[in-house]
């Protein structure tokens, strides 16, 4: 029992060392192309303003408040406080003469959201908002 | 006993670092339409500037500071840091602390709510359905900190009465704005 008591601080140190990292991890973990594919959808529309309106409505539907928005650059950053802190940045860019690209990246606390299903859920919500906007429903 | 501890070691290591990304974090809840109707009102106004000015004024009436405005998107974000001290919460904690002292001592009062930051986004845009009308949609959330400045509560405000009160104030503010031009 005494030997076990001596081992306990060592056990604690070992557990903590499992989380230790010296890397600043500035560049993130994902591969560039794969990450972009998961985070991006293209829409057959030319109306950037209405697309941005739909993005803001979607973020509000999901309970976010807007931290920063720039209509010219097509960038919106939003935060949701709901047991945890989730931050998202959405960019709306005109791709060519017929399409608009919407890209989003999300973080929950210190962790980046990498799973495709979460982004898919966001785009399902955005599809609905785009439908309502295009049919002039407030 | 030591063998058991060694066997538990990898589990402890993984659990210490587990990053739990919540499932369905960006899935629309079933209550979306209901919440949207609580958060949205359609208002008639002579111009976009009138309704934006009235919105800013009502936020100032409620003692918010404006953090961001992006006029082309109709987005106004404001926040305020206010007292979150609760007499009933304190009374409960005092009782618990008395029990705690009898059992060896602890500092429960440091977990009492101290202050909260309330953030509000109002999006005011011309109505897509009706000319001369504007839709105003608001989302509110708050962070409550305890006496040690630790985050105690992170939550959205979905209370219909709060939104109704703010929209009532916005209607009054719009009347004042239009009549004093």
pLDDT tens track for B117-160: 999 999 999 999 999 899 999 999 999 999 888 999 999 999 99
Q: Name the helix (H) or strand (E) containing B175.
A: helix B160-179
Query: How many residue pairs bridge chain A and chain B with CB atoms within 8 Å of each other?
Result: 136
How far apart are the CA of A138 and the nearest CA of chain B, in angstroms? Answer: 6
Exposed / middle / buried, residue A107 (Cβ in 10 Å: 0-12, 13-18, 19+): middle
* Best B23, B25, B156 residue to mutate vs chain A (most A CBs within 10 Å): B25
Residues in CB range of A113: below 8 A, 6 or more apart: A105, A106, A107, A119, B21, B25
Closest residue in chain A to residue B153, using alpha carbons only: A83
* pLDDT value at residue A138: 79
**Residue B147 · residue B109 · CB < 8 Å:** yes
B140: part of which helix (H) or strand (E)?
strand B133-146
Specify the higher pLDDT residue, A31 or B114. Answer: B114
A116 touches chain B (CB under 8 A): no
Residues of chain A positioned with their CB less than 8 A from the CB of B77? 65-67
Closest CB to B156 among A14, A18, A82: A82
Tokens 């609580």, residue located: B38
Alpha carbon of A65: minimum distance to chain B alpha carbons (Å): 5
Whole-number Å distance between alpha carbons of B163 and B157: 9
Reported as a single tens digit per residue, the pLDDT across A92-122 is 999 888 899 999 999 999 889 989 999 999 9
Q: Which of residues A51 and B109 earns the better pLDDT score?
A: A51
The Cα A9–Cα B40 span in angstroms is: 56
**Cβ of A7 and B17 within 8 Å?**
no
The predicted structure's pLDDT at residue B14: 46
C-alpha to C-alpha distances, B160 to A137, B37, B45, B90, B115, nearest whole angstrom: 22, 9, 24, 27, 23
Q: What is the structure's pLDDT at B46?
A: 94
Do the chains contact at B154 and A56, CB–CB below 8 Å? no
For residues B181 and B178, give the distance between their C-alpha atoms in angstroms, rounded to a whole number: 6
pLDDT in tens, chain A (138 residues): 455 556 556 555 555 555 555 566 777 666 778 888 999 999 998 799 999 999 999 999 999 999 999 999 999 999 999 889 999 999 999 988 889 999 999 999 988 998 999 999 999 999 999 999 888 887
Mean pLDDT value across residues B9-23: 56
Q: What is the pLDDT of residues B32-55, one digit of tens each?
A: 899 999 999 999 999 999 999 999
Task: Give yes or no for residue B2 having a pLDDT over 60.
Answer: no
pLDDT at B181: 73
Return d(Cα B122, Cα B141) in angstroms, integer. 12
ipTM of this predicted complex? 0.75
Tell me which chain B residues have a C-beta less than 8 angstroms from the C-beta of A63: 139, 141, 156
Cβ distance B127 to A138 less than 8 Å, yes or no, reads yes
Considering only CA atoms, which of A104, A95, A20, A109 is closest in space to residue A62?
Answer: A104
Chain A 28-57, residues with CB within 8 Å of chain B CB atoms: 49, 52-53, 56-57
Integer CA distances (angstroms), A138 to A121, B1, B42, B112, B126, in order:
22, 65, 9, 42, 9
Among B17, B140, B155, the residue with its CB nearest the CB of A18 is B17
């Amino acid at each position: 029992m005494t030997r076990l008591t001596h081992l306990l601080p060592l056990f604690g140190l070992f557990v903590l060392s499992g989380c230790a990292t010296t890397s600043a991890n500035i560049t993130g973990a994902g591969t560039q192309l794969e990450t972009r594919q998961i985070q991006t959808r293209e829409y057959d529309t030319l109306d950037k303003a209405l697309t941005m309106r739909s993005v803001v409505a979607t973020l509000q539907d999901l309970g976010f408040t807007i931290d920063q928005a720039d209509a010219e650059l097509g960038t919106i950053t939003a935060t949701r406080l709901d047991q945890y802190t989730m931050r998202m940045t959405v960019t709306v860019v005109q791709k060519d003469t017929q399409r608009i690209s919407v890209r989003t990246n999300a973080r929950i606390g210190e962790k980046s959201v990498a799973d495709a299903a979460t982004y898919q859920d966001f785009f399902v919500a955005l599809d609905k908002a785009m439908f309502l906007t295009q049919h002039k429903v407030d | 006993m030591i063998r058991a501890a060694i066997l538990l070691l990898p589990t402890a290591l993984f659990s210490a670092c587990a990053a739990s990304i919540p499932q369905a974090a960006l899935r629309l809840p079933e209550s979306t339409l209901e919440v949207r109707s609580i958060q949205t009102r359609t208002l008639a106004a002579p111009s976009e500037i009138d309704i934006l000015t009235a919105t800013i004024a009502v936020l100032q009436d409620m003692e918010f500071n404006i953090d961001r405005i992006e006029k082309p998107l109709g987005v106004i974000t404001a926040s305020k840091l206010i007292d979150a001290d609760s007499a009933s919460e304190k009374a409960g904690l005092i009782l618990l602390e008395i029990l705690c002292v009898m059992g060896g001592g602890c500092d429960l009062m440091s977990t009492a709510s101290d202050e909260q930051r309330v953030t509000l986004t109002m999006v005011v845009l011309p109505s897509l359905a009706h000319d001369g009308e504007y839709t105003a949609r608001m989302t509110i959330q708050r962070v409550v900190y305890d006496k040690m400045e630790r985050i105690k509560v992170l939550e959205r405000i979905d209370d219909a009465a709060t939104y109704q009160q703010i929209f009532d104030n916005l209607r009054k503010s719009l009347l004042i704005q239009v009549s004093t031009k």
